[in-house]
Chains A and B, each alone.
Chain A
Amino acid sequence: EAGVAQSPRYKIIEKRQSVAFWCNPISGHATLYWYQQILGQGPKLLIQFQNNGVVDDSQLPKDRFSAERLKGVDSTLKIQPAKLEDSAVYLCASSTSGTHNSPLHFGNGTRLTVT
């Protein structure tokens, strides 16, 4: 099966600019996640969707970050305006359901550099 697809692979922007990342999960996976991974740290959950509804966005900086999953398939994560501390790898993952029996499948991530 095709894996989780993410684009772009790399992005360099200046602070205060906006940026968007795209994710296409594995076909049929109901749950989609966005994680932020700062260099030298483990991934941190930003937002979790079940189909097209948000089930957890408690760690999403909502003043600058937004995400949507229209039609319950692919998803877009946006940052506006970006700050230097947003430099990180943004990982998208999907699972068949939101339960613990279904492991997460991750994409290769988008590496964002904010200058």
Chain B
Amino acid sequence: AQKVTQAQTEISVVEKEDVTLDCVYETRDTTYYLFWYKQPPSGELVFLIRRNSFDEQNEISGRYSWNFQKSTSSFNFTITASQVVDSAVYFCALSEAAGYSTLTFGKGTMLLVSP
């Protein structure tokens, strides 16, 4: 069975600090997909990134970067120079390749960025 663990329930930082959100996953499949979603106070989940299990290259998009390490079953998310608008709940999710893309979400990490 697949499982996603986000051990950090809540993180508080001051604007311009860097912050890393941890994600550890469990799956028996060799082919799977990992995702990060952002949920601002409005409630809508916003897709940020998808990685497949064969692509361990780290990815950078502006102030966002992702570190995928199969050896530790982790897919961590770093925000550089955080801003108040980054305040949200961030979810890591896993989808196994078999069948349709059913996502299993972690419990989420609430990020609070204060000015």
- A48 with B102: in contact, given A105-B47, A108-B42, A108-B44 (CB under 8 Å)? yes
Among the listed B91, B93, B100, which residue makes an inter-chain contact with A48, where contact means beta carbons less than 8 Å apart?
B100
Among the listed B43, B45, B107, which residue makes an inter-chain contact with A93, where contact means beta carbons less than 8 Å apart?
B45
Chain A 74-115 per-residue mask, 1 if CB under 8 angstroms from chain B, else 0: 000000000000000101010100111011111111010000
B100 & A109 in contact (Cβ 8 Å cutoff): no
Most interface-central of B50, B102, B108 (chain A CB within 10 A): B102
- A42 with B106: in contact, given A93-B45, A102-B101, A104-B47 (CB under 8 Å)? yes
Would you give the shortest CB distance from A30 to chain B, in whole angstroms?
11
Q: Is A20 an interface residue (CB 8 A)?
A: no
- A40 with B43: in contact, given A100-B50, A100-B101 (CB under 8 Å)? no
Q: Is A70 an interface residue (CB 8 A)?
A: no
Among the listed A40, A103, A111, which residue makes an inter-chain contact with B50, where contact means beta carbons less than 8 Å apart?
A103
Contact residue range for chain A? 20 to 34
Q: Is A14 an interface residue (CB 8 A)?
A: no
- A99 with B44: in contact, given A41-B107, A42-B91, A42-B107 (CB under 8 Å)? no
Contact residue range for chain B? 20 to 34
Pairs across A and B, CB under 8 Å, 20 listed: A40-B107, A41-B107, A42-B108, A45-B102, A45-B103, A48-B102, A50-B100, A55-B100, A91-B43, A98-B101, A100-B97, A100-B101, A102-B101, A103-B35, A104-B101, A104-B103, A106-B37, A106-B45, A106-B46, A111-B43
- Known A-B contacts: A98-B101, A100-B97, A100-B101. Give 10 more (CB < 8 A): A42-B105, A43-B105, A44-B105, A45-B103, A56-B100, A100-B50, A100-B52, A100-B95, A108-B44, A109-B44
What is the interface of chain B, defined by CB distance below 8 A to chain A?
Answer: 4, 33, 35, 37, 42-47, 50, 52, 91, 93, 95, 97, 99-103, 105-108
